[in-house]
Chain A
Amino acid sequence: MLLSVSLLVGCARSPPAALRVAVAAAPEALDPRLASSASAVRLSQLVAPPLCVVGDDLRPRLVLAQSITRIDDLTVDAKLRSGLRFPSVAGAAAGDALTAADVAFSFASVLDPALGSPHRPRLDVLDRVEVLDDQTARFHLRRPHAPFVIEVLCAVGVVSARACADPAPCRFHPVGAGAWRVADVGVDRFAFTRVSARADLDVRVMKDSTARLLALIAGDVDVVAADVAPWDVAALPTERPIPQPGVVGGPRGAGATPGEDKSISVHRVAGLGFSYLGLNAQRLTEAERQAIAKAVDVDALLAGRLRGFGRRATGLLPPEHWAKDPGLRPVVRDVDGARALLGGRRLRVSLLVTPDRLRRSVALALREQLKEAGVDVDVVVRDWSVVYEELKAGRFDLVLAKWTPVAEPDLLTTVFHSRSIPTADTPGGNRGAFVDVDVDGWLDAARVSDDDGARARLYGLVEKRVQERAALVPLWFDDEVWLAGPRVSALSPWRTGSLLPLADVVVGSSP
């Protein structure tokens, strides 16, 4: 036995040519029409990207489309880039050109209840897709809808009408015009062959954050894409300082030779995940909500619990968003003011939180902060399915939760419009049951306006009112952190966490 162990240990290890990427969650599908989790959406875009995606400026960034033009309130034209082709896949769409008919097919199949696509509700605004010519698809809307491009056109990937007419084989082997095509689907393992990317891709699902980190340090993977905890970065054996957010590409620039630097690089960009403390307006008065908002020390939480890997939020929209009111200032912590709002009495509330390590840690810190202001908090840890039920039924006082990613400002309608209060029969994102007639009016007006300036002004009014009436307590936007091993160069993560930038990565030979 000892001899065989020695032989096994003694074999040399040679690095493969493919780029090896560790992700935290397995996708439920690679077909973009069926992908709903963040992991599945990101992986599906590698093979079958949509007409556009959300760019770092939080505006549509064209991928398959050459242009997207709003003809009138109810009509949008999408013109495809020339030369788009599906890859040669045995028995499928061998080298077919991607045409507007494929675009029309993709959207029509999402609208078909038989497919069971999770994107169908958001396409409710879409009446039909008309094929004008091979390169142009015309989208007819049922009603004016300003967020249409980001919410609909950037959400559904385009697949081959011929190859994906039967959705079953396409679930994990979709055919699209992406930078890669699916080569092999294994257990927690997805191999992609490059079409226009610089390297083949070997995606491994590694659910444990410590395992991902150890695999990167040992040289078993080249990139850890997102889901990097702050304490993981602190534990890294890197000799260089951790970059500030906004230093896209991290410490190693595109010009460096792969393999010349043996250490691990940290790539950090300002992310779009919005963490907040939700307040139930049906159980807490406005004065109580304002007291809680004044009692929370967000800066201390950011420094202590997130180790600085986030930016303070003043509302649902990130600071640099085109629709953000730059004049909106964060609520300053004022423990005496909070006590005064409570009239000197003590308030007892429960705080609902999922078992995630960071969330629990933040919940315990919040409990201590609120205690100083006279608010006694019982932290209640429940699985997400239970938390979800409690939120829908309005059975909570406070909840620690997250919206991700925040790109289209119409998300404010989902979160604060009185129409979005969930009931037993209808879903909705206004879980705190916040009601304000003015806010409803501003949100309705912004949704149908085609003037971005007017929309920005209206959303600014909403955010200000939400802050004044303490509909929720904004906490922070998480940083997007990726880690890369010594074989990798020219890595430049996006703020949305998309895996598309992997197409530009250069892989060296150094293990």
Chain B
Amino acid sequence: MIDIAASVVALAALVAAVFVGTHSLPRRAFAVVAVAAVAAVLTGALGALVPGDPVAAALGEDAPEEARAALRHEMGLDVDVSWRPLRAGGRVLTGLWSQEHPLRSLRTRQPVVDLIAARAPATLALAGAGSGVGVVGGVALGVLAAWWRRRRVHVFVDALVALLSAVPRFVLGPALVLVFAIAWQLLPAGGVDEGPRSLLLPALTLGLPFAGVVARHVRAALHDALDAPFSRTAKSKGVAERTVLLRHGLPHAWLSVVHLSALQLGTLVGGAVVVEKVFSWPGVGMLLQDSLKKADLPVVQGVVVCAAVGIALAGLVADAVAVVVDPRLRRRS
């Protein structure tokens, strides 16, 4: 009953969020909470509706009937089929935060929150390093592309940017391993044994395609800024082109970089799943993959909810940063 009530409250929160709007930061924060609640309910509901029997898959064919019944109850699958989505969804919502009756993995019986907490640092380190590579590399490439826009060398920079944007991570990762770990024996091929050295190749694999995307946006923003009247005025007053680019053009590009970073977080999370598998990086992505393969639905649901909260929070942070970066937004808000 508590689970069903939790589902109803979550759906009501979403409706309220729609009505109050999302124009101010406090309202956006409320929307994040609503997104988290609804993500929990939806993943729980989907788990109750997907074909296949997760209980049988988890316990095996010979499991005693009492064990099956207990697990069915724990997962919210022992009620009438019409109530099952709400019951299972509410179970995810309450089970993630409950100390007494936590949502547990079907395979290891460990609380899902503990499993995610054990792996979150690895994924955050990877996502942080990957974002760093993406932003720093992307801004640098974008500035170079804009700086050399009237020279022939810009063709090579543009080609590099296009290549980075297009290369899939499951190709880039093994290629980097072949060069740096096997041919030159400079870095480990996977795992976390060697600390920051182990992080280099996964971070490059995650971050370089992101750098390509950032570079394209920075280049476009700088082109616009360099052609804008304020740049022409600055140049006519004798300001050097490099100064115009870095001091007047680059602040224009920052706003798109901030928003792009928030928007790309979802892609980065998806990319982290691939990168963690290629490099045997013990993060949340590996946990998600493994749980999907083993039909360990509570873990899948927990990871999806946490990822949804993370992405919604990142959007909130991006909005806050954008207000700081752009004085026009500050005046508006």
Query: A36-B60, A187-B122, A207-B277 in contact; A386/B52 too (CB < 8 A)?
Result: yes
The contact string, 1 if C-beta is below 8 Å from chain A, for chain B 251-293, is 0000000000000000000000000011110100010011000
State whether the Cβ of A57 lies closer than 8 Å to any Cβ in chain B: no
A-side interface residues, number (CB < 8 Å): 47
Cα A210 to Cα B173 in complex, Å, equals 11
B280 with A384: CB separation less than 8 A: no
State whether the Cβ of B227 lies closer than 8 Å to any Cβ in chain A: no
Cα A388 to Cα B60 in complex, Å, equals 10
State whether the Cβ of A372 lies closer than 8 Å to any Cβ in chain B: no
State whether the Cβ of A445 lies closer than 8 Å to any Cβ in chain B: no
| Residue in A10, A113, A116 with the greatest tally of chain B CB atoms within 10 Å | A116
B190 contact set on A, CB distance < 8 A:
206, 211, 214-215, 220
A211 with B189: CB separation less than 8 A: yes
Cα A386 to Cα B51 in complex, Å, equals 6
Name the segment of A118-126, A314-322, A343-351 touching the other chain.
A118-126
B185 with A13: CB separation less than 8 A: yes
B182 with A187: CB separation less than 8 A: no
A206 contact set on B, CB distance < 8 A:
190, 280
B279 with A211: CB separation less than 8 A: yes
State whether the Cβ of B67 lies closer than 8 Å to any Cβ in chain A: yes
Query: A187-B119, A211-B280 in contact; A28/B108 too (CB < 8 A)?
Result: yes
Cα A298 to Cα B132 in complex, Å, equals 53
Cα A217 to Cα B189 in complex, Å, equals 9
Contact with B60, one of A1, A118, A208 (Cβ below 8 angstroms): A118
Output the nearest chain B residue to A386 by Cβ-Cβ distance: B52
State whether the Cβ of B196 lies closer than 8 Å to any Cβ in chain A: yes
Cα A386 to Cα B286 in complex, Å, equals 22
The contact string, 1 if C-beta is below 8 Å from chain B, for chain A 368-388, is 000000000000000111101
Cα A388 to Cα B59 in complex, Å, equals 12
Contact with A8, one of B56, B61, B196, B278 (Cβ below 8 angstroms): B196
CB within 8 Å of A: which B274-329 residues: 277-280, 282, 286, 289-290, 295
B188 with A28: CB separation less than 8 A: no
The contact string, 1 if C-beta is below 8 Å from chain B, for chain A 197-216, is 00000001111101100110
A121 with B64: CB separation less than 8 A: yes
A188 with B286: CB separation less than 8 A: yes
A218 with B185: CB separation less than 8 A: yes
Cα A187 to Cα B115 in complex, Å, equals 9
A71 contact set on B, CB distance < 8 A:
none
B280 with A204: CB separation less than 8 A: yes
State whether the Cβ of B200 lies closer than 8 Å to any Cβ in chain A: yes
A385 with B290: CB separation less than 8 A: no
Cα A220 to Cα B180 in complex, Å, equals 13
CB within 8 Å of A: which B201-250 residues: none
State whether the Cβ of B53 lies closer than 8 Å to any Cβ in chain A: yes
State whether the Cβ of B153 lies closer than 8 Å to any Cβ in chain A: no
Cα A422 to Cα B62 in complex, Å, equals 11
State whether the Cβ of B128 lies closer than 8 Å to any Cβ in chain A: no
The contact string, 1 if C-beta is below 8 Å from chain B, for chain A 176-196, is 000000000011110000000
State whether the Cβ of B197 lies closer than 8 Å to any Cβ in chain A: yes
State whether the Cβ of A11 lies closer than 8 Å to any Cβ in chain B: yes
**Residues of B in contact with A, size category:** 35 or more
State whether the Cβ of B63 lies closer than 8 Å to any Cβ in chain A: yes
State whether the Cβ of B57 lies closer than 8 Å to any Cβ in chain A: yes
A208 with B280: CB separation less than 8 A: yes
B177 contact set on A, CB distance < 8 A:
214, 218
B136 with A207: CB separation less than 8 A: no
Expressed in whole angstroms, the minimum distance between the Cβ of A238 and any Cβ of chain B is 14
A188 with B189: CB separation less than 8 A: no
Query: A36-B60, A208-B278 in contact; A388/B53 too (CB < 8 A)?
Result: yes
Cα A386 to Cα B177 in complex, Å, equals 36
State whether the Cβ of B100 lies closer than 8 Å to any Cβ in chain A: no
Output the nearest chain A residue to B65 by Cβ-Cβ distance: A425
A188 contact set on B, CB distance < 8 A:
280, 282, 286
Cα A255 to Cα B126 in complex, Å, equals 44
State whether the Cβ of B181 lies closer than 8 Å to any Cβ in chain A: yes
State whether the Cβ of B191 lies closer than 8 Å to any Cβ in chain A: yes
State whether the Cβ of A246 lies closer than 8 Å to any Cβ in chain B: no
State whether the Cβ of A29 lies closer than 8 Å to any Cβ in chain B: yes
Cα A122 to Cα B61 in complex, Å, equals 12
Output the nearest chain A residue to B59 by Cβ-Cβ distance: A118
A1 contact set on B, CB distance < 8 A:
136
Output the nearest chain B residue to A29 by Cβ-Cβ distance: B108
The contact string, 1 if C-beta is below 8 Å from chain B, for chain A 1-24, is 100010011110100000000000
A389 with B174: CB separation less than 8 A: no
Output the nearest chain A residue to B133 by Cβ-Cβ distance: A1
A214 with B59: CB separation less than 8 A: no
Output the nearest chain B residue to A116 by Cβ-Cβ distance: B67
Cα A392 to Cα B200 in complex, Å, equals 47
State whether the Cβ of A503 lies closer than 8 Å to any Cβ in chain B: no
State whether the Cβ of A475 lies closer than 8 Å to any Cβ in chain B: no
A384 with B64: CB separation less than 8 A: no
A218 contact set on B, CB distance < 8 A:
177, 181-182, 185, 188-189
State whether the Cβ of B66 lies closer than 8 Å to any Cβ in chain A: yes
B53 contact set on A, CB distance < 8 A:
385, 388-389
A11 with B52: CB separation less than 8 A: no
B51 with A120: CB separation less than 8 A: no
Query: A383-B295, A385-B57, A388-B57 in contact; A8/B197 too (CB < 8 A)?
Result: yes
B282 with A385: CB separation less than 8 A: no
B54 contact set on A, CB distance < 8 A:
385
The contact string, 1 if C-beta is below 8 Å from chain A, for chain B 154-195, is 000000000000000000001001101110011111110110
The contact string, 1 if C-beta is below 8 Å from chain A, for chain B 59-101, is 1111110110000000000000000000000000000000000
B interface with A by C-beta (< 8 Å): 51-54, 56-57, 59-64, 66-67, 107-109, 118-119, 122, 136, 174, 177-178, 180-182, 185-191, 193-194, 196-197, 200, 277-280, 282, 286, 289-290, 295
- Can you list the 9 inter-chain pairs with the closest CB atoms, starting with the nearest? A385-B52, A218-B189, A385-B57, A187-B282, A121-B62, A28-B107, A385-B295, A386-B52, A427-B61
What are 12 A-to-B residue pairs whose CB atoms are below 8 Å? A8-B200, A118-B63, A171-B108, A187-B119, A207-B289, A208-B277, A215-B280, A383-B295, A384-B57, A385-B54, A389-B53, A427-B61
Beyond A385-B295, A388-B52: 14 further Cβ-contacts under 8 Å?
A: A8-B187, A9-B180, A13-B188, A122-B62, A186-B282, A187-B118, A187-B282, A205-B280, A211-B277, A211-B278, A385-B52, A385-B54, A385-B56, A388-B57
